[in-house]
Chain A
Amino acid sequence: MEFGFTAAQQQRYDAILCASREKLGRAGTEGAGSYFTRQQWKAAAEIGLTGLCLPEEHGGGGLSALDTALSLEAFQRGCRDAGLVFSVSAHLLACGVPIRDFAAGEVRQDFLRGMADGSLVAANAMTEDDAGSDVGNLAVTARSEDGAYVLDGEKSFSSNAPAADVIVTYAVTNPRAGFLGVTAFAVPRDLSGIQVGEPFRKMGLDSCPAARVTFRDCRVPARYCLGEEGQGGAVFQHSMGWERACLFAGYVGLMEHQLERCIEHAKQRKQFGSPLGSFQAISHRIAVMKQRLESARLLLYRGCWLMDQGRDYTEAVALAKVAVSEAAIANSTDAVQIFGGAGYLAQTGVEQHLRDSVPSAIFSGTNEIQRELIAREAGL
Chain B
Amino acid sequence: MSDDVTSERISGYIRERFLNGDKKGELEETTPLLEWGVLNSMNTALLLMFIRDELGVVIPPTKINAGNFQDVKSITAMVTDLARQDQATIAAGTE
Contact = CB atoms under 8 A, between A and B. Distances in A.
Interface stretch (B8-16, B37-45, B81-89): B37-45
Given A174-B66, A238-B61, A373 B45 contact: yes
B39 A178 contact: yes
A135 B42 CA distance: 10
A230 interface: yes
A373 B61 CA distance: 18
A314 B45 CA distance: 10
A228 interface: yes
Contact of A376 (B39, B46, B61, B65): B46
Contact of A372 (B42, B61, B66): B42
Given A177-B66, A231-B65, A376-B49, A135 B41 contact: yes
A180 B35 contact: no
A136 B90 CA distance: 37
Secondary structure dominating the interface of A? helix
A135 B40 CA distance: 9
In the A-B complex, list the 4 residue pairs whose CB atoms are closest, starting with the nearest.
A177-B66, A178-B34, A180-B66, A136-B40
Contacts of A135: 41
Contacts, number: 54
Contacts of B39: 178-180
B45 A180 contact: no
A238 B39 CA distance: 19
8 contacts: A135-B41, A176-B34, A176-B35, A176-B66, A178-B37, A180-B44, A234-B61, A376-B42
A377 interface: yes
A181 interface: yes
A177 B46 contact: no
A134 interface: yes
Contact of B32 (A136, A176, A231): A176
A193 interface: no
Contacts of A179: 34, 39-41, 44
Interface string A64-78: 000000000000000
Nearest to A315: B49
Given A233-B41, A377-B49, 10 more contacts: A134-B40, A176-B35, A178-B35, A178-B66, A180-B64, A180-B65, A230-B66, A372-B42, A376-B46, A376-B49
Interface string A231-259: 10110011000000000000000000000
Contacts of B64: 180, 231, 233-234
Interface in B35-83: 35, 37, 39-42, 44-46, 49, 61, 64-66, 69-70
Nearest to B38: A178
Nearest to A238: B61
B61 A180 contact: no
